[in-house]
Amino acid sequence: MFDGTTMRARHILFSPPPGDAKAVEQAKAQLLAFKKQIEEEVVKGLAKLPTNTDNLEREKARTRLLEEAFATVAREKSACPSQAQGGDLGWFPRAGSMVEPFARTAFSLKPYQISDVVATQFGYHLILATDRRPGKEAKFEEVKEAVKDVYGEQLRDAICAQSRPRSKIVVNPPPKP
């Protein structure tokens, strides 16, 4: 999180109306169907390769087919403005650019691996990791302030989330003179 590692990914976003459980289930099912469709297209494409193709060429073909199939579905079906770029989000760091569930999932993937359905405040995503740039080793003294900021923010969010359901806000009228 603090060493400067960045990730490049594509995604497909569905944003069902909040509170509509049926629409949420449909969105999840549709995204899983897209994942299966993309994987099947890759398998079909690999089956067309000559049988004597070496492993390196097969892997290059697999990554190209996977990225093309994912980008095609993203262009046609995604609800995100990145749809025009085939769902490509460009390079982003672990913290700060993407919402936490998205970033956590993207950084847990290996390049050219597709996630399961990921829920965020924006909706439901399928994520395809396309590349990773390793950062440089960071010494604690160099990133101490950033660590304090990140963990302080996470602690504040956790306390607020825990306190919010039990809190009661009362607005009292101003005292009479």
Rounded Cα distance, 72 and 138, in Å: 38
Residues of the chain with pLDDT under 70: 1-4, 135, 138, 143
- List, for residues 31-61, the tens digit of each pLDDT value: 999 999 999 999 998 888 888 888 898 899 9
Same structural domain, 150 and 117: no
Is 94 within a domain? Answer: yes
Give the residue carrying structure tokens 């697999």. 62
Number of domains in the chain: 2
| Nearest Cα to Cα of residue 126 among 35, 40, 36 | 35
Residue 172 lies in a domain: no
162: phi > 0 → left, psi -120 to 50 → alpha, else beta; which? alpha
Is residue 66 situated within a structural domain? yes
Q: What's the domain range around 107? A: 6-136
Q: Is residue 26 part of a domain?
A: yes
Assess whether 19 and 72 both reside in one domain.
yes
pTM for the complete prediction? 0.73
Note the pLDDT of residue 143: 67
pLDDT for the residue numbered 110: 92
pLDDT of residue 96: 72
Q: Identify whether residues 146 and 124 lie together within a single domain.
A: no
For position 146, what pLDDT does the model report? 72
Shared domain check, 124 and 92: yes
Position 34 scores a pLDDT of 93
Residues 145 and 79 reside in one and the same domain: no
Question: Rounded distance, CA 36 to CA 69, Å?
Answer: 11
Q: Is residue 97 part of a domain?
A: yes
- Residues 44 and 55: their CA atoms lie apart, in Å, by 17
pLDDT digits (tens, 9 = 90+) for 82-98: 888 999 999 988 777 78
Note whether 75 and 57 are same-domain residues. Answer: yes
Question: Does residue 4 come out as left (phi exceeding 0), alpha (psi in the -120 to 50 range) or beta?
Answer: left
